[in-house]
Amino acid sequence: MSDEASTGGCQCGAVRYRIDITLENAHVCHCRMCQKASGNYFLPLARAPKAKFAVTRGEVSWFRSSDLVRRGFCRDCGTPLLFDVLDRNTVNVVLGALDEPAAVKPTFQCGLRTKMPWFDEIDSSEPSTDESEWYAAIAPSIHQHPDHDTATWPLEDRS
């Protein structure tokens, strides 16, 4: 296994982290707890040793979703960041919070019993509208942290 570093963080930039090893066990979980934790139909995750994971800005907030697991998130913007099985020396990061999420391809799915029954039907569907005007209209006012580390954040006061 190579030692490729990854960085990531929350949407508002209050929490940033670095992983000093290649992520492994990349997967998509469809279980009901992951659905609720992400506010989505599934949660993509990958694992790293806790010793290779470091928060570089801010502080992760935690919710104990079971006796065995806690979930880390940003208390300011709510971005799901981590899935931590308490008695393990590894932590799972939420792939969508990586700066380069496309660099980690999930290799399997779990929690299939609660996978949305129609999910596979939309894989080949075409978009019903052209959203390019919408994205162009909101681009100048986005308050989202960029997909790279910054010395400070926010870069300017936008209030």
Q: Tell me if 53 is assigned to some domain.
A: yes
What CATH number does the domain containing 88 carry? Answer: 2.170.150.70
Q: Tell me if 126 is assigned to some domain.
A: no
Residue 74 and residue 10 in contact, taking contact as beta carbons nearer than 8 Å: yes
Higher-confidence position of 79 and 142 = 79
Q: Tell me if 123 is assigned to some domain.
A: no
Q: Tell me if 159 is assigned to some domain.
A: no
Its domain, for residue 100, covers 6-115
**Number of domains making up the chain:** 1
* pLDDT mean across residues, the chain: 89
Residue 67 and residue 1 in contact, taking contact as beta carbons nearer than 8 Å: no
> Would you say the pTM of this structure is higher than 0.75?
yes
Q: Tell me if 149 is assigned to some domain.
A: no
pLDDT of residue 156: 63
At 124-140, the pLDDT tens digits run 666 667 777 877 787 77
Average pLDDT over residues 21-48: 94
Q: Reply yes or no on whether the pLDDT at 96 is more than 50.
A: yes
